Amino acid sequence: MDGLLDTIRHLRAVPHAPWRAQVRRVAVILTSSRSGSTLFKSVLARHPGIASLDGEAEPLLALSGEGFGYDPACSSDAIAQLRNPDALADEIFDSLTIPEGGIAPLAELRARWRKRLLLQFPALFAQPLAFAQVERALDETLLFSQAADAPSEHALQNAVLGAVFWREPWRRDYYDGGQGPGERRPFSEAAKIEEPPFVSPAMHARHFTEDDAAGKVLLFKTPSDAYRYGFYEQLFPHAQVRYVHLVRSVAACVNGLIDGWLSPTGFHAHDMHKHGVTLGIGGYSEQCVGGERWWKFDLPPNWRSYINAPLEEVCLNQWMSCHRHIIDSGVAALPVRFESFLADPAGVLDRTCEWLGLPPLPQPPELPVTMATEAPAPGRWRKRSSQLLPLAQRAEVADMMHALGYGAAPEQWQ
């Protein structure tokens, strides 16, 4: 894997950007997996005062030698001390965009797509012939983006994926939104850097520059940040870091986690066979292709206690662990309930922008469906109520729900 990472770094050719001391404002969404953070972040990231990544920072950690599987000091997703903050900052600055202006210039779009595809299928596109074919597909397809009557961003993204994977259209099933033919072949890549469902690069956004470092709010979200208190203060030593604690009921989160663990095409976070671990998670490992190999979603510090546990216990622990670490850190954070966000997106976003020192969003928010196994809807968890309600009634779970602002009545959880 080290040799492959070196090849990917070479092909991505990310320049050094010594600006991390100039960054003055950072916003971090702290949350558990399946809490709606991708949707919340995608809407908030439309603010012209915000710079954000297309996805999460996790693949950039891998490229800079940080985190589980890359730093020998990391035995989980927790990171106490950054080893290579300058290299990580280079990757972040190269990947940040700002939602201003129209379609990005052709050269910028080509670079954005090339660098993103190398994270998604590194073993495939590190091969010279395959990489050359990608370059040709991008040249041909992205020319349409510069026309006066260019298709929508979504249509352009689909066109690019169609051109890149025209011989293997099933690979498009691994993208957010399920852009492929629906074969849903189980994910079994020899290597991956980004975790599926894969994201497509923003097309209507401009690249982050040094002039933005002091003026924009840099927005980040990944559930694993729950275990990394002080991470962004190390990365941006002169910035004010403000936190948002996004929560969702235990029933909704654990239901979403179970759906994700059982998905053949998404949320493959860690290849545990590379660490000498074989998973025996009941209800997952014995029935899903790759279930003995792939750990999904965040990897809590106590993960070894759950490698042979029932799936619902693994998912409950992921929800509990994230919020316990956030609360125990004592970090000052704006509390946001995802259910409140769905009910009143404009009101919640106004409060969030005020907390971050930003004016309100200039346009009313629209809520796209992102990183979802199903569209968000109240009460989806009830399909597993017989499995989930006993978990929610445990004393430690009820205490956590109370700490997060939820009542004991299930009908209030949505």
Q: What are phi and psi of 52, to 5 degrees?
A: -145, 165
- The string of pLDDT tens digits covering residues 86-115 is 999 999 999 999 998 788 899 999 999 999
Work out the number of other CB atoms within 10 angstroms of the CB of residue 354: 12
The predicted structure's pLDDT at residue 413:
66
Residue 222, CA atoms < 13 Å, CB-side half-sphere: 26
**Which residue in 149, 172, 153, 122 sits closest to 1, CA to CA?**
122
| Residues 6 or more apart in contact with residue 256 via CB below 8 angstroms | 33, 34, 373, 380, 381
Please provide the size of the chain in residues. Answer: 414
pTM for this prediction: 0.94
Nearest of 87, 80, 40, 43 to residue 62 by alpha carbon: 87
How high is the pLDDT of residue 109?
A: 93
Distance CA 185, CA 177 (A): 15
Give tens-digit pLDDT for 124-148: 999 999 999 999 999 989 887 777 6
Q: What distance lies between CA 60 and its chain's CA centroid?
A: 11
What pLDDT is stored for residue 376 in this prediction? 54
pLDDT of residue 68: 96
Four-way CATH pick for 1-53+209-271+312-414: 3.40.50.1580, 3.90.1150.10, 3.30.70.1050, 3.40.50.300 = 3.40.50.300
Tell how strand 25-30 and strand 240-247 pair up: parallel
Listed in order, strand segments (DSSP E) in 104-215 are 206-207
Res 155: pLDDT: 87
Instruction: Point out the residues of the chain with pLDDT beneath 50.
Output: none
Q: Quick one: pLDDT at residue 175?
A: 95
Look up residue 138 and give its two tokens. Answer: 């991008």
pLDDT at 369: 54
**Per-residue model confidence (pLDDT) at position 380:** 75
Residues 6+ apart with CB under 8 A from 346: 361, 364, 365
- CA 168 from chain center: how many Å? 25
